[in-house]
Amino acid sequence: MKNKKKIVLLGAVSLIICILFLTVGLDSNYKYVLSKRIPKLIAIILTGVSISFSSMVFQTITNNRILTPGVMGMDSIYIFLQTLIIFFLGSSSSLSRNNNLNFIISLIFMILVMQLLYKLMIGKKNLNILYLLLIGMVFKTFFGSLSSFMQTVIDPNEFQMVQDKMFASFNNINADILLISLILVAISIVYASEYINIFDVMALGREEAINLGVDYELVVKKVLVVIAILLSVSTALVGPITFLGLMVVSISREFIKSYKHSYLITSSAFIAVIALVGGQFIVERVMNFKVTIDVIINFIGGIYFIYLLLKESRSNDTVK
């Protein structure tokens, strides 16, 4: 009951912040202002929910509380694909200009990459955290380097199109894919919700879950498709935010002292909405756009990531 009250509190705070985001600063031209703010708010909420859900589930199937799709360099793969399209087809191609078609192609590509990731790493037994982080760094560096090379060769005007997708921006939201993103996120979460109780068992570890009757391989393969969809949605809408998932999931675990994913996922989604909507509200109303929220999140998240690594290292030394 205590955790339920905490979740209700988080939901209430999220609702209040969303209302403030929509209503503060309205004037006589409120219809036009709301027509801009409402799509932005929907995109921010979709981004927060997608990142928090995918990060929590990814940590469960990897049985590690440090890894997230962002930390593993999945956003770099998305940027690589966008650069690849501009490099070979140009900015005037239908694949570049048609945001819905571009999104579908990116989604298929991300799903294939996630399945490859499963074959290389997640499906293996007893993988060390440092090895996984090394593979993630290789992914990020390799695809980042390829993207940088192509970006230096392409026309400067076409590079501008790639640059718009390289950095997270809540002021330049890809509104063309908002409807399809909303539908995909809703379907993905409803589908994955069937495995909520199974996630509780999988959190015990691969061998324990199999011994308790979970078809571990099948569940992981299906869930990775959901993660790829959610990650593609969040990146396509606003751009890459590397450390948001790590932050909100860690805060959720500290705030909700429970093993139940129904509580953890819900609370992490509310925390992500509070962080993103509240942060964007402060950026717009207090700081007058002098700083972007993704810079703040990645800075704080980077420090927190280093702290978690040091904490993990100390705990391993203690065990030894």
Q: What is the number of structural domains in the chain? A: 1
Q: Determine the pLDDT at residue 266.
A: 94
- Mean pLDDT to the nearest integer, 130-158: 78
Identify the domain containing residue 6 by its residue range: 2-319
What is the percentage of the chain residues whose pLDDT exceeds 70? Answer: 88
Q: What is the CATH number of the domain that holds 47?
A: 1.10.3470.10
Is residue 297 within 8 Å of 241, Cβ to Cβ?
A: yes
User: pLDDT (tens digit, 9 = 90+) per residue, 264-317?
Assistant: 999 999 999 999 999 888 888 888 777 777 777 877 877 877 777 777 666 655
**Looking at the predicted structure, is the pLDDT value of residue 320 above 60?**
no
Residue 41, pLDDT score? 92
Q: Give 39's contacts (C-beta < 8 A, 6+ positions apart).
A: 173, 175, 178
> Quick check: 304 and 247 in contact, CB under 8 A?
yes
Kindly report the CA angle at 59 between 84 and 9, in degrees rounded to 5? Answer: 110
pLDDT, tens digit, 9 for 90 and up, residues 60-78: 988 878 778 876 777 778 8
Kindly list the distances between the CA atom of residue 307 and the CA atoms of 203, 250, 295, in Å, as whole numbers in the listed order: 23, 12, 18
